[in-house]
Amino acid sequence: MESRLQKKYKTEVVPALKERLGLRNVMQAPKLTKVVINVGYGRFVKETALIDVIDGTLKAISGQKPVHNKSRKSISNFKIREGMNIGASVTLRGKKMYDFVDKLISITLPRVRDFRGLSRKSFDQRGNYCVGFKEHNAFPEVKIESMDKLHGLEVVIGASAKSKEAGMALLEQLGFPFKTNEKE
């Protein structure tokens, strides 16, 4: 069964992108490939109880068990040893990806405090988009009474676009609320 955003992509977004980008074939239209949700432990590296809470939050937000990111080398100034867990990430693809992006657009972003639109400057040259959240409590799965300390997270939306403009066109057609008056 397709998600709401998948249906919108096939029926509305692909024809609009085909016209806007001057594509001859629907298979040339850019599409979402993956979504990566990443949390760096930062100052919580030594506190295993908080790391378990962060992992639980990430699991609730994404619906998948997070993978731990380990440090590659020791850095004494940050009190990090080689092989220590320094973060967690989840990669979403397929239906879970579309469900997450739909929830991000329609529920999470409107709940962000002082939200005035997404920046257009966060695209890379291949059309991928990165957005960071200072507080994880904007997500509806997070229970406010279970939070001791707030932590941030970042969401990277991977697209099959060939350029920055094609990736921007894809996300605009999907309904991402970008700032209107921002210059490149």
pLDDT digits (tens, 9 = 90+) for 66-78: 998 887 887 777 7
- Give the pLDDT of residue 23: 87
pLDDT tens-digit map of 15-41: 998 888 888 988 888 999 999 999 887
Confidence class for position 3, pLDDT limits 50, 70, 90: confident
Return the domain boundaries, the chain.
31-174
- Who contacts 46 (Cβ-Cβ below 8 Å, separation ≥6)? 79
Q: Which residues pair with 155 in a beta bridge?
A: 37, 131
Residue 109 has pLDDT above 90, yes or no: no
Q: DSSP states of 74-140 as a string?
A: -BGGGTB-TT-EEEEEEEE-HHHHHHHHHHIIIIIHHHSTT---B-GGGB-TTS-EEEEES-GGGST
What is the total residue count of the chain?
184
Position 183, amino acid: K
Q: Out of 3.30.1440.10, 3.40.50.620, 3.40.50.2300, 3.90.1300.10, which CATH number does the structure's domain 31-174 have?
A: 3.30.1440.10
DSSP letter, residue 144: G
Rounded to whole angstroms, the Cα distance separating 81 from 7 reads 47
Cα angle value 183/159/97 (rounded, 5°): 115
Please, are residues 178 and 118 in contact by the beta-carbon 8 Å criterion?
yes
36 burial via Cβ count (<10 Å: 0-12, 13-18, 19+)? middle
Residue 1 has pLDDT above 60, yes or no: yes
